């Protein structure tokens, strides 16, 4: 088992992923060694290419955070590329019907569970020569429910064999429903998804702001750019010791 996120969830722990939507390997590496459990690589809402993402994953191959990719869609091509470059989590956006997560499981799994083909990729160099025999046990599928229609079909979505996490997309659920967080109707949708997901024995995801909500254990943190802004504000507002750090040691 080299997917430490799967291990932590199985042990009853919460996991948090930092979001990356820029192609700089140094930024990715800094995020991957900063304490996050996984990195949420954003390919749905960014112009990132698979070649750029491959370089970032390789640059952080010795860092503890596990690479997860939010693919543009659950297509065979997107999922094949994502797994070949080393993603251990496939995050599937805009799930309304269970067929979308069924496709993600199918395309992300080797036979007999799926139809993933053998081919080139850096997965072997990342995870070892027995990758073909171990990949199905390590790669996770995360289905995102982002609309009332997805909520209505949550039972079928969460029942798909091979789905590991159902993620409730807080802002999109507001966008599609027009109902704000905290409103009883909004909270009723969240509770419905939560109750279904927990009854299936799989993980329940949401924004990192929901860490104190009962039942949630898989979280997305803000992107690196937002964390830079937050870190700069904290630095400027803090009282630093009157001793300058040695150059080159700031990230140690």
Q: What is the pLDDT of residues 166-211, one digit of tens each?
A: 999 999 999 999 999 999 999 999 999 999 999 999 999 999 999 9
**C-alpha to C-alpha distance for 51 and 147, rounded to whole angstroms:** 31
**C-alpha to C-alpha distance for 89 and 41, rounded to whole angstroms:** 10
Can you tell me which residue has the tokens 């027995």? Answer: 130
DSSP annotation of 92: E
pLDDT of residue 250: 60
Has residue 154 been placed in a domain? no
Has residue 189 been placed in a domain? no
pLDDT of residue 240: 67
pLDDT of residue 120: 85
pLDDT of residue 122: 96
Q: Which domain holds residue 90?
A: 4-142+205-222
> Residue 7: phi, psi to the nearest 5?
-65, -45
* Burial profile 5-31: b = 16 or more Cβ within 10 angstroms, e = fewer: bbebbeeeeebbbbbbbebebebbbbb
Helix and strand totals (H; E) in the chain: 12, 8
Q: Is 124 helix (H, G, I), strand (E, B) or coil?
A: helix
Q: Are 18 and 50 in contact (CB under 8 A)?
A: no
pLDDT bracket for residue 245 (50, 70, 90): low
Q: What is the pLDDT of residues 55-71, one digit of tens each?
A: 999 999 999 999 999 99
Number of structural domains found in the chain: 1
Write down the pTM of the prediction: 0.93
* Burial profile 50-72: b = 16 or more Cβ within 10 angstroms, e = fewer: bebbbbbbbbbeebebbbbbbbb
| CATH number of residue 58's parent domain | 3.20.20.60
Has residue 132 been placed in a domain? yes
Has residue 161 been placed in a domain? no
Closest CA to 225 of 21, 13, 2: 21
In the beta sheet, which residues pair with residue 38?
Answer: 17, 66
Has residue 92 been placed in a domain? yes
> Residue 202: phi, psi to the nearest 5?
-115, 175
Q: What is the pLDDT of residues 102-160, one digit of tens each?
A: 999 999 999 999 999 998 899 999 999 999 999 999 999 999 999 999 999 999 999 99
Has residue 238 been placed in a domain? no
**C-alpha to C-alpha distance for 60 and 41, rounded to whole angstroms:** 13
pLDDT-wise least confident of 28-42, 126-140, 148-162, 230-244: 230-244
pLDDT bracket for residue 247 (50, 70, 90): low
């Amino acid at each position: 088992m080299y997917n430490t996120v799967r291990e932590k969830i199985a042990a009853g722990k919460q996991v948090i992923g930092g979001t990356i939507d820029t192609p700089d390997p140094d930024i990715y590496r800094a995020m991957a060694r900063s304490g996050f459990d996984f990195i949420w690589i954003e390919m749905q809402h960014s112009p990132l290419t698979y070649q750029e993402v491959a370089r970032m994953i390789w640059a952080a191959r010795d860092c503890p955070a596990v690479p997860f990719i939010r693919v543009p869609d659950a297509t065979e091509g997107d999922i094949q590329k994502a797994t070949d470059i080393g993603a251990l989590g496939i995050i599937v956006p805009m799930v309304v019907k269970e067929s979308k997560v069924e496709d993600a499981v199918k395309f992300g799994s080797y036979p007999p569970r799926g139809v993933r083909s053998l081919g080139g990729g850096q997965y072997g160099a990342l995870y070892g020569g027995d990758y073909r025999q171990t990949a199905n046990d390590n790669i996770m599928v995360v289905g995102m429910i982002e609309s009332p229609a997805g909520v209505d079909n949550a039972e079928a979505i969460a029942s798909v064999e091979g789905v590991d996490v159902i993620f409730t997309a807080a802002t999109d659920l507001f966008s599609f429903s027009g109902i704000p967080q905290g409103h009883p109707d909004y909270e009723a949708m969240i509770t419905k998804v939560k109750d279904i997901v927990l009854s299936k024995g799989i993980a329940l995801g949401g924004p990192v702001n929901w860490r104190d909500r009962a039942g949630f254990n898989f979280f997305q943190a803000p992107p690196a750019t937002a964390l830079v802004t937050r870190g700069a504000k904290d630095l400027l507002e803090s009282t630093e010791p009157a001793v300058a750090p040695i150059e080159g040691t700031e990230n140690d």
